[in-house]
Amino acid sequence: MFESLHKLLRVDSEPLENVEFMHISGEASGAGLANYSFLLHHFLSYFIKNSFRVCLVSCSQSLTQYKLIESKLGVNLERVANESQFTFVSLLTLLMEDSNTSKEKVDSYITHDPVSSIVSAVKDKLSPPTTSRQPCLLILDDLTALHDIGVTTSDILHMVCELKSGCTCVSTIVTTSLRLSESTHSEEAVSLDKQLSHWSELLFHVDELSTGLSKDVHGQLRIHRLNSLTSGKGDAETYHYKVTDRDVKLFAVGASPAVL
C-alpha cells in the first residue's frame, strides 16, 4: 500500500524513521475532514506496523473515526492499544473532563497557562514504559482546532515544543496537521503553519485542484524536503493524487489517466 508515495519519498534509501519532524497541512474549503487525512492515516498504520509506539493527540476527531479507517488499512487500533503500542488522547475531551464541563472553567483553563496544563495532561496519559527502547511517534492532529477555542499561536507552538522535548522515547516524529479552510485562514493559522514548516524536515501540503472537483484527480500534493541551510522553492515537488479504498495513486501534474 502507498507504494507510489514511498517511492517518491525514497523510503528505501532515506527511511521515514530518521525524519524527526514532519508537518502536514491541508487546504480544504469544504466542511468535514480536510483532505490531508489519507496521509495521516497512512503514517499512523505505517509506524504501527514498523513496531513504533504511537501516541495520537487529536484536537477534533473521535477515536471511532480513526479506528474505522485504520481497520481498512489493516491495523486494529483496539488491539495495539491493549498491547500499549497505541495511545489516544482527545484534547478537547480532556479539557472538558478536567474542567468539570463548566464553560467558565474551560475558559480559565485556556487563559491560565494552557501550555503546561495541556502538556501535563498529555504526559499523564502517555505514561510510557520507561524500560522500553521502542521508538515513538507522536501525532498532533488538527492543531487549528485549538485556535478555535482561544489558544494563541505562541502557546500552541510552545505546546508542540514541550511535548516533543518531553517525550521519553528514543526517537520521536511529530506530525502536525492544520486546516487552512476559508473560515480559519486567519493570520494566526498562517503564522502557525509557517513556523511548523520551518521546523520540519519533511513537509506535505495537500490542496484541492484549482480547476475544481474531478473524479480522477482528487487534488494535488506538494512534497518539500527541507534542509535548514539550503531550503528553497526549488526543493518542492508537486504531484496530483487520487485516493482509492486502501491506497493513493500519485502522478505527475497533467499525467493522470483521465488526461492521457
Partner 1 sequence: MLEDLINNLRCESSLLIKDSLRKSGACLIKSLTNQALSQQKPLLYINTEPLFSNRHSLGSLGVQNVDVFGQYDSLKERIMSSVSSANTVVVFPSISLLLLSYSVGRFAKLLRALRESDKVSSVIALMHTDVVLNEEIVDRLDYLFSSIIHVLLPESELSVYYAQVKCLRRKSNGKLETSEEYFTLDDACSLKLVHSSSSAVVRSYTQSQSGDVVSSLTFNLSLSDKEREAKNRLHLPYLKKDSEKQALLSQTHNGSSGRPLISIGDESSQTNPGGKIYYHYDEADDFDDEDPDDDLDI
What are the residues binding partner 1 (CB under 8 A)? 20-21, 152-154, 157-158, 161-162, 164-165, 174, 187, 190-191, 194-195, 197-199, 201, 227-233
Which one, 79 or 194, has the nearer CB to partner 1? 194
The DSSP element (H or E) to which 25 belongs, if any, is: strand 21-27
The DSSP element (H or E) to which 137 belongs, if any, is: strand 136-141
Which one, 113 or 216, has the nearer CB to partner 1? 113
- Cβ proximity of 124 and 163 under 8 Å: no
Least distance from partner 1 to the Cβ atom of residue 19, Å: 9
Residue 94 grid coordinates: 480532556
Q: Please choose, from the candidates 44, 96, 94, the residue with its C-alpha nearest in 3D space to the C-alpha of residue 66.
A: 44
Least distance from partner 1 to the Cβ atom of residue 56, Å: 19
Least distance from partner 1 to the Cβ atom of residue 101, Å: 30
For residue 6, report the phi and psi dihedrals to the nearest 5 degrees: -60, -35
Which one, 69 or 119, has the nearer CB to partner 1? 119
- Cβ proximity of 77 and 63 under 8 Å: yes
- Cβ proximity of 200 and 180 under 8 Å: no
Helices (H), 32-175: 37-49, 63-72, 77-82, 91-98, 103-111, 114-126, 144-148, 153-166
Which one, 97 or 235, has the nearer CB to partner 1? 235
Least distance from partner 1 to the Cβ atom of residue 107, Å: 21
Distance CA 169, CA 182 (A): 37
Least distance from partner 1 to the Cβ atom of residue 226, Å: 8
Which one, 201 or 247, has the nearer CB to partner 1? 201
Radius of gyration of the chain (CA): 18
Least distance from partner 1 to the Cβ atom of residue 202, Å: 11
Which DSSP symbol is given to 170? S
Which one, 103 or 233, has the nearer CB to partner 1? 233
